[in-house]
Each structure stands twice: as C-alpha cells, then as structure tokens.
Amino acid sequence: EDQVTQSPEALRLQEGESSSLNCSYTVSGLRGLFWYRQDPGKGPEFLFTLYSAGEEKEKERLKATLTKKESFLHITAPKPEDSATYLCAVQARNSGGGADGLTFGKGTHLIIQP
C-alpha cells in the first residue's frame, strides 16, 4: 500500500527564516511526486511534479527536491503570504500500465509570522 508521511505537522517561522518540509514515501513504482499548497476552505493548488531521484524544481521562494525515499520542499526567506498547508502526494503506476489516483500525506501547516 502506498504511504506518504509529512513532517512536521505544523511549523511556525518568522518572516525571512528559511526552512524545509519533509515528505517520506513508499510506493510501488513511482510515476510522480506532487506538491500542493492548500489555503483554508479552498482546493489544493498545484506547485510541482517530480519524477525521478535527483530532480529539482523551483518557483519563487519554493524549491522541491526528490530522492528515492523522500522529497523536501525548501522555503527560502518566506513571507506571510506563504502561510498555508503544504501537501505532498505520490502517484503510482497501476497494473494496467496507467496511473492510479494520488495518495496524499496529511500536510504541513505552515505559519509565517511578520
């Protein structure tokens, strides 16, 4: 069974204080690892897809990296508007050669204080 564990569950940072969020996963045949941002009462917003170990992607103050067992979301010099819940998800290859639905972690609730 595919599993995704995110840590920490919650993180409070000062504005400008860089940090990393962790996503550990086990999956039978990784098709892709996804990062989403979710604001309260809204649907998840797509950030990145990573496909293979060693891959990195960046968007503004966010950088996602991938190894064979985990992914990190690095947040550099965060601003209050970066406050949100960050979700990690994996997609496995199914037996038919296609892709299953996403298996999500429970998220990291990030608060950036001014």
For residue 103, state whether it binds other proteins (rule: CB under 8 A).
Answer: yes
Binder of other proteins out of 66, 84, 102, 112 (CB under 8 A): 102
43-to-57, 61, 71, 85, 95 alpha-carbon distances in Å = 22, 21, 22, 11, 29
Contact present, 107 and 87 (Cβ < 8 Å) = yes
For residue 87, state whether it binds other proteins (rule: CB under 8 A).
Answer: yes
For residue 99, state whether it binds other proteins (rule: CB under 8 A).
Answer: yes
Q: 3-class SS at 70?
A: strand
* Number of residues engaging other proteins in binding (CB under 8 A): 27
Q: Which residues bind other proteins (CB under 8 A)?
A: 31-32, 34, 36, 41-49, 87, 89, 91, 94, 98-107
